[in-house]
Amino acid sequence: DAGVIQSPRHEVTEMGQEVTLRCKPISGHNSLFWYRQTMMRGLELLIYFNNNVPIDDSGMPEDRFSAKMPNASFSTLKIQPSEPRDSAVYFCASRSPGQGATDTQYFGPGTRLTVL
């Protein structure tokens, strides 16, 4: 299995531009998580989906952030307009169906976003 795939691996953009991050979960996994990692705030859960449905988006910073999961094999995290404070590494993780909290989350390699 290829694991969780994220693209792009690096993104540099200018303030005000739209940014779209992509994630392909592991085949057969039915839960998907988006995290943001910064030096100041550590790892934060932004949103997660079960069976393509958003369950908890309380971690999404503000209306500039949106996430979608149109099918079981693809999710996007969009920032519009982007701001320098959005610079961070964004991770996607997926988990297999099973016992919920007991199952392991598998992380992708991350997308390093720099907003100038």
Partner 1 sequence: AQSVTQLDSQVPVFEEAPVELRCNYSSSVSVYLFWYVQYPNQGLQLLLKYLSGSTLVESINGFEAEFNKSQTSFHLRKPSVHISDTAEYFCAVSEIAAGNKLTFGGGTRVLVKP
Judged by CB under 8 A, the residue of 4, 60, 67, 113 near partner 1 is 4
Out of 20, 22, 30, 45, the residue judged to bind partner 1 by CB under 8 A:
45
Rounded CA-CA distance 98/79 in Å is 32
Read out DSSP for 66-106? EEEEEETTEEEEEESS--GGG-EEEEEEEE-SSSGGGSPPE
> Is residue 67 part of the contact set for partner 1 (CB under 8 A)?
no
Q: Does 42 bind partner 1 (CB under 8 A)?
A: yes
Interaction of residue 102 with partner 1, rule CB under 8 A: yes
Reported as type and span, the H/E element at residue 3 is: none
- Residue 25 as a binder of partner 1 (CB under 8 A): the answer is no
Pick one of 7, 27, 38, 104: the residue that binds partner 1 (CB under 8 A).
Answer: 104
Q: Token pair of 12, please?
A: 């540099």
CB of 60 to partner 1, least distance (A): 14
